[in-house]
Structure 1
Amino acid sequence: MSMLPTSRPFIWIRFGENKKVLVNMWCSFEILLNYIVTACDIDPEITFDLCDTSGRLLGLSDSQNYQQTVQSLEGGGVYILVAIEGDKSDQQVNIRPMLENFEQYYPNLTDQILQNLHDKSERYSKKKHIKRTPLPTKVTTSRKTKK
């Protein structure tokens, strides 16, 4: 008997001319991405992601963290389709909501996305610069052996 998720696995994706589509997130990574591309009529050349209404990107481009992403979703929540242009590693990224007149519904969305990216980047760079104490290579004990 398989365990069913306790939370609602469905989310709403808003895009285009105030369109929205209901998506079941409890599926494979490839099926989800293909469904979003088809349902939202996205050009396959566009790099996209989803963000919540507070501007937090889900990181759908990272298949390694997909299960963690799915488990962190708010079932029944609303997510906005965004296009990502540029290179995240160079910090030269332009993220643009693919929902027309998004300012009407989410006035500070682009500022919130940029702030969340900045905060995430700072946390990453702080982790990178923390010095770690190397573990000892030889372990000694005070236990005496019988002769």
Structure 2
Amino acid sequence: MVFITVRFGDDQSALFNPNCRNVNLLRDIKRKCDCNIEETFDLSDENGEVANLWSHPEDYGRNYLTERGNFILVRVERNEASEDDRVTYTPMLYGMENQTEFLDRLNPKPVKGGKQRRRGGADDSSSPKNDRRRGRQSSSQPPKKNPTPPTRSGVGVRK
């Protein structure tokens, strides 16, 4: 059975089936975790990497989440007043506000002199998982060459 664990609130957790469209998964998470239905939520792994389910509502959660993984519920806050349309994430699990390493990964500082890309956007190719899903290789790996098929000497070969 495919499932994930979502952690939220005061060390609470709930099981969910990610084998459905993200819009349905997020709606079910909001309902079970007693969240405001009008707000936007997403999931982050325990390292602070956001899944960006909310930006891909028609895709399936199983494409973005590790089976039997533990995830932290995060609130998505869009600052539409800023030039770069920056998105910030707030963990909905008590005690995470003191985890500076997690928070730094969750909300990286913008790069000076350039716009910060929104994670999970159409041009986001920094994640190896996204590369595998889209059929591309990660930029950190050299392209693989097709090896020559091995030959069996003496079997069916004329000399």
Higher relative contact order (CA 8 A, sep 6+): 1
Alignment correspondent of 1:49: 42
2:95 to 101, 109, 112: 101
Q: Please point out which of 106, 111, 128 is paired with 2:104.
A: 111
Which structure 1 residue ranges, 5 or more long, are not aligned?
A: 1-7, 127-147
The runs of at least 4 consecutive aligned structure 1 residues that moved more than 6 Å come to none
Letter in 1 for 2:75: A
Matches within 5 A, 1:51-130: 51-63=44-56, 66-67=59-60, 69-87=61-79, 90-102=84-96, 108-115=101-108, 121=117, 124=123
Of residues 12, 28, 31 in structure 2, which corresponds to 1:35? Answer: 28
Q: Give the TM-score of the pair, scaled to structure 2.
A: 0.60
1:96 is matched by which residue type in structure 2?
T
Q: Cα offset for 1:33?
A: 2.1
Greater helix proportion = 1
C-alpha change, 1:34 and 1:115, in structure 2 (3 Å) is same
What secondary structure sits across from 1:13 in the alignment?
strand
Tell me the percent identity.
30
Matches of 2:46 and 2:75 in 1, distance apart? 15
Instruction: Determine whether 1:21 maps to 2:14.
Output: yes
- Structure 2: how far apart are the matches of 1:38 and 1:17? 17
Query: Which 10-residue stretch deviates more, 19-28 or 57-66?
Result: 57-66
Per-residue deviation, 1:111: 0.7
SS of equivalent residue, structure 1 residue 121: coil
Against the structure 1 CA distance between its residues 107 and 77, is the aligned structure 2 distance closer, same or farther, given a 3 Å change threshold?
farther
TM-score after normalising by structure 1 = 0.64
Alignment CA distance shift 1:85-1:30 (3 Å): closer
Kindly indicate whether the alpha-carbon contact (under 8 Å) linking 1:10 and 1:22 is maintained by their aligned counterparts in 2: yes
Partner-residue secondary structure (3-state), 1:90:
coil
